[in-house]
Amino acid sequence: MAQAQLQQDIEELNQLLKQAKRKRVQDLLSLEIRKLETDIINLKEAEKSQIEIAPSTSSSTIKKRYQIKLNGYGWDQSDKYIKVFVTLKNVQSIPKEQVYCKLTDRSMELHVENLDNKDYLLSINKLLEPINVDECHWKQKTDMVVVFLAKSQPNVKWSHMTEIEKKSQDQRNNRFKPDDMEKKDPQESIMDLMKNMYDTGDDDMKRMITKAMYESQHKKRTDIPDFNDAM
């Protein structure tokens, strides 16, 4: 889902890049596109990451197990629960004590131990709303674990799973507003985008934008004809 949203951002930026006239603005838009493309690559690599861990016993006859960090999951909600769905083939075949959660009021860790000689970990931090740890539970189903996170405030609808996802979506919504962009002059839309990039960018981005704005203003002043010389 996150990759698809980043790809949509890149497409919007490419449209603005085609409309931009000044090289400095084109460079800034190209830089932002490259940053988003890097974010997509990092997400893909994170999904494939596997970390080797030491065996739980010193016996040389025991094979090493590997911990696999899970990133993909589905979720749904009812009035009382946030339901997290984690797909793991044959997870129903292992003992219940090998499937457990570590919970706080704003985070969850699902641990699945020794499933086909591998350990699995799903970690979700900074939940959008607090949960009631005492009322949470989980179930093993065929090829799936379902975690029931009890809402501290029943009947409150969650728009996102985590604070980070909501913040990211809000930033994208503020950065790209198609209706407004269609009504505005293309150059005005680019200036609004540059302001948003300045507000949310790092120090290097801010320096580049400040320099571009200064050069733009300086060019406008030097383009004004000197009427005294003409007379």
Q: Tell whether 38 and 68 lie within a shared domain.
A: no
Same domain, 38 and 14: yes
- 102 and 133: one domain? yes
pLDDT of 140 = 96
Identify whether 202 is part of a domain: no
Same domain (yes/no): 84, 8: no
Same domain assignment for residues 68 and 145? yes
Q: Tell me whether residue 6 is in a domain.
A: yes
Q: Are 144 and 80 found together in one domain?
A: yes
211 lies in some domain:
no
Calculate helix-pair angle for 186-200, 23-48, nearest 10 degrees.
50
Residue 74 lies in a domain: yes
Which residues span the domain enclosing 137? 62-150
What confidence score (pLDDT) does residue 59 get?
Answer: 45
Q: Dihedral angle at the C-alpha atoms of 121, 124, 125, 129, nearest 10 degrees? A: -150
List the end-to-end C-alpha distance of the chain, in Å, as a whole number.
65
What pLDDT is recorded for position 201? 67
| pLDDT tens for the 231 residues of the chain, in order | 567 777 878 888 888 878 888 888 777 888 888 888 887 787 777 776 654 444 454 444 556 888 999 989 999 999 999 999 999 999 999 999 999 999 999 999 999 999 999 999 999 999 999 999 999 999 999 999 999 999 999 999 999 999 988 888 888 777 655 555 555 566 666 777 777 777 766 677 777 778 777 777 766 565 555 544 444
Phi first, then psi: give them for residue 116, nearest 5 degrees.
Answer: 55, 45
Partners of 82 in beta bridges: 77, 149
Q: Residue 19 is encoded by which pair of tokens?
A: 């409309």
Neighbouring residues of 89: CB distance < 8 A, sequence distance ≥ 6: 143
